[in-house]
């Protein structure tokens, strides 16, 4: 059961807990006309992570809403790209922070244009000065508590595509809106899912593809030396709307650019 | 400059960044008729902490809104208690997490009934299993990123007034909606403001009063032993709407109850 709201008709009620406490989570899905890229993975993640927060929603409900959204919001043409955003909150009710077990979730559906395509020759990236804290209880969840990412994104300017955030141990965790994947001599390195603020759909899909091809993928903490030292053969930023984005400059250091990954895998062809 | 919204007339626009990312902060103010308890401190905190997030609002604007709210929302009678809530967000705009420097903040004003008065003979409290993470950049800010407090508040039931949350160092930091103050032989102990998730108005006011009286107040990390060991002469929970609340039972241990603090200081008489 859920209450459905269409952003082009208005916002959520004033007493919604998503606004009050960030008590919810969201998905942004790359759409091509009526079809979504890796759509079922987005739906699965939202159902699974909502359950971790004690918010109950079914795959069937979300699938139905996505089909309705495709009908209503894919306005331009059948092959035009756009972004579908689902914002799911615990709904209203409860006393202060304490939720009411009987609350019915609110789901806000909105559409946005595709962001500009990243430069396929590689983007410019820096380190963020905003520390990233990852509560193990919420690791990986794309919750509505994103103030750290907002403050880090304030460091971006027109020339800077992304900033990489570090945790209190000094490990490089992720960008504001991207996961990290490093090419090394004998395979790939990426921080483990349990250490991430947001565990991305494209990361999950891509790691499966690499392992299917027999490539070695190591999940471990990343240090500055992993990115700027001699072992790095390429740094990639992963985002399910933006794709696989090679980095050519990190903190004024030129990185080796390998555009192969972006051309081997075509997640945007995986329409559902 | 701000856009003002009254909760009894509807919610914030669908594209508000408060809902999207918890990109904002809030105050809950105990009102008696048209007057607010420690009102100017609430206003000062919101102005100061909004500036830390890069959201600009003036004392004058907030003061005017509070006066309007008192006129419109103190409906019952001049001496009836209620709670005024101010939710300030960065507004709309920007690209994803990255804000638009030209965004105009949204301010949502709402009224709620007073919560039940805590038992003046002392309340029952437990330790939370939800870890508390405090990003130093946001320490003390009553931001809209409160998922940790929501999940901890799910541990409350009708007999349990509050749960106390610990940080990754194992130090006891605060309750879901209260700051901690411990009476010891030669004074008082409380965690330092820079280590708090939310730095409370009542805590700030009360520490000033205690120091004015020449009492020793030590700000340092709290351990379980500080609360359950022989040095604890009383544990108090502080909340500007609920007041000074003595704890009589913590995790099934009886604590010494000293109701003196609640009777010496009368914050609810400090109407403005």
- Tell me which DSSP letter residue A163 carries: E
> Residue A101: which domain range?
3-113
Query: Are residue B257 and residue B205 in the same domain, yes or no?
Result: yes
Put simply, the answer to whether A177 touches B87 (Cβ < 8 Å) is no
Query: Are residue B261 and residue B129 in the same domain, yes or no?
Result: yes
Query: Are residue B201 and residue B239 in the same domain, yes or no?
Result: yes
- Contact predicate A54/B176, CB 8 Å: no
The partner residue sitting opposite B148, judged by closest CB among A5, A87, A135, is: A135
> Worst-scoring range by mean pLDDT, A19-28, A47-56, A95-104?
A95-104
pLDDT for position A123: 96
**How would residue B80 be classed by pLDDT, with cut points 50, 70 and 90?**
confident
Please give the Cα distance from A177 to A164 (Å, whole number).
Answer: 9
Query: Are residue A164 and residue A207 in the same domain, yes or no?
Result: yes
Handedness of CA A156, A159, A162, A164 (dihedral sign): negative
DSSP B118-152: PPTT-EEEEE-SS-----GGGTT--BS--HHHHHH
For residue A185, the tally of other CB atoms under 10 A from its CB is: 8
The Cα diameter of chain B in Å comes to 56
Q: Which of residues 36-65 of A touch B (CB under 8 A)?
A: 53-54
> Worst-scoring range by mean pLDDT, A78-82, A158-162, B136-140?
A78-82
Closest-CA residue of B relative to A23 is B147
- Using the Cβ of B15 and the Cβ atoms of chain A, whether some distance falls under 8 Å is answered with yes
β-pairing verdict for A187-190 and B81-89: unpaired
- Contact predicate A77/A5, CB 8 Å: no
C-alpha separations of B256 from B68, B128, B161, B210, B236 in Å: 44, 21, 17, 20, 11
C-alpha separations of A92 from A216, A266, B147 in Å: 46, 40, 15
What is the phi/psi pair of residue B91, to 5°?
Answer: 95, -155
- Asked if residue B79 has pLDDT above 80, the reply is no
C-alpha separations of B132 from A258, B92, B196 in Å: 40, 29, 10
Query: Are residue A144 and residue A255 in the same domain, yes or no?
Result: yes
Q: Which residues in chain A belong to E strands, given as ranges?
A: 3-6, 24-32, 35-36, 81-89, 106-113, 123-127, 162-166, 172-175, 179-184, 187-190, 217-219, 234-239, 243-250, 253-254
Whole-number percent of chain A with pLDDT over 70: 95
Please give the Cα distance from B136 to B61 (Å, whole number).
Answer: 28
Query: Are residue A262 and residue A128 in the same domain, yes or no?
Result: yes
- Using the Cβ of B76 and the Cβ atoms of chain A, whether some distance falls under 8 Å is answered with no
Please give the Cα distance from A24 to A165 (Å, whole number).
Answer: 23
Query: Are residue A261 and residue A137 in the same domain, yes or no?
Result: yes
The partner residue sitting opposite B11, judged by closest CB among A12, A26, A134, is: A12
- Using the Cβ of B155 and the Cβ atoms of chain A, whether some distance falls under 8 Å is answered with no
Query: Are residue A90 and residue A178 in the same domain, yes or no?
Result: no
The Cα diameter of chain A in Å comes to 56
Query: Are residue B51 and residue B128 in the same domain, yes or no?
Result: no
Please give the Cα distance from B233 to B229 (Å, whole number).
Answer: 9
Put simply, the answer to whether A19 touches B16 (Cβ < 8 Å) is yes
**Averaged pLDDT of chain B:** 94
Please give the Cα distance from A127 to A238 (Å, whole number).
Answer: 16
- Asked if residue A242 has pLDDT above 80, the reply is yes
Structural domain contains residue B118? no
- Which SS3 state, helix, strand or coil, does residue B202 take? helix
Looking up residue B235, the CATH number of its domain turns out to be 3.20.10.10
Structural domain contains residue A118? no
DSSP B25-60: EEEEEEEETTEEBTHHHHHHHHHHHHHHTT----HH
**How would residue B93 be classed by pLDDT, with cut points 50, 70 and 90?**
confident
Structural domain contains residue B170? yes
pLDDT for position A158: 79
Put simply, the answer to whether A154 touches B54 (Cβ < 8 Å) is yes
State which of B52, B80, B113 marks the end of a domain: B113
Put simply, the answer to whether A21 touches B53 (Cβ < 8 Å) is no
The 10s digit of each residue's pLDDT in B1-55 is 999 999 999 999 999 999 999 999 999 999 999 999 999 999 999 999 999 999 9
- Using the Cβ of A137 and the Cβ atoms of chain B, whether some distance falls under 8 Å is answered with yes
Put simply, the answer to whether B144 touches A147 (Cβ < 8 Å) is yes
- Contact predicate B51/A151, CB 8 Å: no
Q: Which of residues 96-135 of A touch B (CB under 8 A)?
A: 96-99, 108, 110, 115, 130-135
ipTM attached to this prediction:
0.95
Put simply, the answer to whether B19 touches A23 (Cβ < 8 Å) is no
Put simply, the answer to whether A22 touches B144 (Cβ < 8 Å) is yes
Q: Which residues make beta-bridge pairs with A27?
A: A86
Handedness of CA B69, B73, B74, B77 (dihedral sign): positive
Query: Are residue A156 and residue A233 in the same domain, yes or no?
Result: yes
Sorted by sequence, the CB contacts under 8 Å of residue A9 that are 6+ apart come out as none
List of long-range contacts for A201-208, beta carbons under 8 Å, 24+ apart: A201/A38, A201/A41, A201/A42, A201/A45, A201/A240, A202/A38, A202/A238, A202/A239, A202/A240, A202/A243, A202/A244, A202/A267, A203/A179, A203/A238, A204/A41, A205/A38, A205/A41, A205/A267, A205/A270, A206/A181, A206/A238, A206/A244, A206/A265, A206/A267
The 10s digit of each residue's pLDDT in B119-138 is 989 999 999 999 999 999 99
Query: Are residue B51 and residue B11 in the same domain, yes or no?
Result: yes
Query: Are residue A130 and residue A260 in the same domain, yes or no?
Result: yes
Helix B59-73 with B39-52: angle, nearest 10 deg: 130
The partner residue sitting opposite B22, judged by closest CB among A10, A98, A144, is: A144
- Contact predicate B239/B42, CB 8 Å: no
Looking up residue B79, the CATH number of its domain turns out to be 3.30.470.10
Structural domain contains residue B255? yes
- Asked if residue B143 has pLDDT above 70, the reply is yes
- Asked if residue A78 has pLDDT above 70, the reply is no
- Which SS3 state, helix, strand or coil, does residue A213 take? coil
Count of domains in chain B?
A: 2
- Tell me which DSSP letter residue A168 carries: T
Please give the Cα distance from B51 to B56 (Å, whole number).
Answer: 6
Please give the Cα distance from B93 to B126 (Å, whole number).
Answer: 42
Put simply, the answer to whether B97 touches A153 (Cβ < 8 Å) is yes
C-alpha separations of B66 from A201, B10, B54, B73 in Å: 44, 18, 22, 10
Structural domain contains residue B82? yes
């Amino acid at each position: 059961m859920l209450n459905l709201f269409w952003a082009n008709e208005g916002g959520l009620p004033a007493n919604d807990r998503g606004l009050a406490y960030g008590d919810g989570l969201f998905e942004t899905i790359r759409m091509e006309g009526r079809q979504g890229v890796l759509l079922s993975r987005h739906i699965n993640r939202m159902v699974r992570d909502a359950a971790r927060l004690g918010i109950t929603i079914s795959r069937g409900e979300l699938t139905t809403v996505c089909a309705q959204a495709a009908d209503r919001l894919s306005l331009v043409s059948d092959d035009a790209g756009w972004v579908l955003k689902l914002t799911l909150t615990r709904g209203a009710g409860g006393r202060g922070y304490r939720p009411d077990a009987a609350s019915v979730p609110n789901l806000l559906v909105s559409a946005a244009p595709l962001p500009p395509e990243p430069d396929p020759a590689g983007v410019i990236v820096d380190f963020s000065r905003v520390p990233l804290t990852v509560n193990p209880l919420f690791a990986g969840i794309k919750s509505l508590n994103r103030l750290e990412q907002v403050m880090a994104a304030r460091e971006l300017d027109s020339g800077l595509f992304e900033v990489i955030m570090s945790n209190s141990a000094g490990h490089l965790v992720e960008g504001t809106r991207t996961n990290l994947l490093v090419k090394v001599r004998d395979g790939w390195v990426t921080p483990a899912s349990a250490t991430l603020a947001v565990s991305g759909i494209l990361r999950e899909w891509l790691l499966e593809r690499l392992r299917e091809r027999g490539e070695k993928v190591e999940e471990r903490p990343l240090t500055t030396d992993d990115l700027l030292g001699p072992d790095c053969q390429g740094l990639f930023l992963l985002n399910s709307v933006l794709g696989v984005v090679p980095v050519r400059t990190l903190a004024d250091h030129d990185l080796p650019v390998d555009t192969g990954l972006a051309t081997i895998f075509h997640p945007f062809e995986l329409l559902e």
